[in-house]
Structure 1
Amino acid sequence: MLDMSFDLVMVLLAAGFVAGFVDAIAGGGGLITVPALMLAGVPPAQALATNKVQGVFGSATAAISYARRGLVDPRTQWRAALIAGLGGIAGAALVTYLPTDGLRLGLPVILIGFYDGLVGPGAGSFYMIAFVTLAGYGVLKATAHTKLLNLFSNLGGLLSFALIGQPLWLLGIMMGIAQIAGAALGARLAARIGARLIKPLLVLTSGALALRLIWDMV
């Protein structure tokens, strides 16, 4: 693990908790943790790899929580989950071949671009929109199915990164434990009120982090 102060590690754990909470409800948790890791001095590709480590914990917690509530049946979604996993493998493999400067300059633009009013935050929002518009699911059921696909895409991405040896495993696992707590709380809240209350907070938080990252590069 990089040489980090205790206070900085605590900030990253807090980011993991908030990301797990937000991601379980509205998606886009990685848009909190990736900028946080990069602001902590983790190189871009390694930040993405470490994000996959901790993201697996949160997405697994949320997926299991929703499955226990009967909102998603993994047995009927295994094909989509497999495709998501293969996509995660391919995407992570591509990242390892991109230059560091390109990633550093491109990530803030991508982070802000995801917040287009019609799209919403993060890859999870694309899944959610597809489930709502194509499958006719309600928002809560769409969120539950999204978490299952997120889990497998995270696992696929982590597999690629693990083979290359880039993740900061200890930091990722520590953040993952925080993600478990946040995701469990978020999934319970989502079952009650849905995602509509958390999305404005996610937009503000991730937008601020992305702008801070741009400011640090100037």
Structure 2
Amino acid sequence: MDVLLVSLASLFAGFVDSIVGGGGLIMLPALFAVFPTTHPATLFGVNKSASIWGTAAATVQYAQRVQMPWRALLPAVAVCFAGAMAGAWTVTQISPEFLRRALPLILLLVLGYTLMRKDLGRHHTPHMTARGERLAACTLGLCIGFYDGFFGPGTGSFFVFLFVRWLGYDFLHASASAKLLNTASNLAALILFTWKGHVWWHYALPLAVANVAGSLLGTRLALKHGSGFVRIAFIVVVSALILKTSFDAWIK
């Protein structure tokens, strides 16, 4: 029964995450509810062992239908991996508690800006030179990758928002690019959790299969309905993240 419950959560998490990020909002609470006495690091490791396959599958699907800026993204992948490793190491030295309280406010600003700018992310209009785009993508990879390793909630949504706001991508191209970098940060975290012995591999396979199935469904919907659909999903997911992180930081 436990495997079935968390597999269903992994399916839905893969679906949401493939569109605009935020799969951890579904997967981690489910894991904590089903395994309440388990060390948190182990549950984080289980989550990464499933989510990395969903993000990788979504990346492949997007790459087949969306023109990916590979010259900018490939260097950013390496930088993102290094940033996530550095963030994961840093969290072993200092507590991320200050981010727990600040995160709802940051997300609220992101949501407010998106709602005010009705045209934000509706059109794909990259405005940087090739070198500038590569530098910007690497900067995002380093900073958000570090954040993912150090703390994590909302990583995919931050990637999407910044690709839209800073690089001029529409929501569909931003989501596709975000999946590639998020796969790199997930891989870095999974390697660290594996090294520390915090992965239940007997759960990894069924959760990964469910996550990939949800991811393929979500990606197809995003590709079919385009940037307008992804924008709406982004607003819904960020709103849910605000409620969840506010509860964790100020009420729980």
Same fold (TM over 0.5): yes
Q: Deviations over 1:121-147 (max 9, x none)?
A: 711111112211221111100100000
5 Å matches for 1:46-195? 46-96=42-92, 115-116=107-108, 118-119=110-111, 122-193=154-225, 194-195=229-230
The one-letter code of the counterpart of 2:18 is A
Q: Secondary structure at the match of 1:155?
A: helix
Aligned to 1:3: none
Q: Secondary structure at the match of 2:63?
A: helix
What is the CA–CA distance in structure 1 between the aligned matches of 2:203 and 2:247, rounded to whole Å? 22
What is the CA–CA distance in structure 1 between the aligned matches of 2:98 and 2:200, rounded to whole Å? 22
Kindly indicate whether residue 53 of structure 2 is the aligned counterpart of residue 18 of structure 1: no
Q: Secondary structure at the match of 2:32?
A: helix
The one-letter code of the counterpart of 1:167 is V
The one-letter code of the counterpart of 1:36 is A
What is the CA–CA distance in structure 2 between the aligned matches of 1:161 and 1:203, rounded to whole Å? 27
Query: Which of residues 19, 28, 31 is equivalent to 1:37?
Result: 31
Q: Secondary structure at the match of 1:198?
A: helix
The one-letter code of the counterpart of 2:12 is V
Q: Deviations over 1:55-97 (max 9, x none)?
A: 1111001000001113325454111111111122222334455
Relative to the length of structure 1, the TM-score reads 0.80
The one-letter code of the counterpart of 2:108 is D
Aligned to 2:237: 202
Q: Secondary structure at the match of 1:77?
A: helix
Count residues with an aligned counterpart.
Answer: 207
What is the CA–CA distance in structure 1 between the aligned matches of 2:26 and 2:103, rounded to whole Å? 9
Asked if 1 retains the 8 angstrom alpha-carbon contact of 2:66 and 2:176, the reply is: no
Relative to the length of structure 2, the TM-score reads 0.70
Q: Deviations over 1:163-210 (max 9, x none)?
A: 111111221332111010000000010112232343465357667766
Deviation at 1:33, TM superposition (A): 1.0
User: Does the C-alpha gap of structure 1 residues 176 and 94 become closer, same or farther in structure 2, counting only changes over 3 Å?
Assistant: farther
Q: Which runs of 5+ in 1 are unaligned?
A: 1-5
What do you get for the CA RMSD once the two structures are aligned? 3.0
User: Does the C-alpha gap of structure 1 residues 166 and 28 become closer, same or farther in structure 2, counting only changes over 3 Å?
Assistant: same
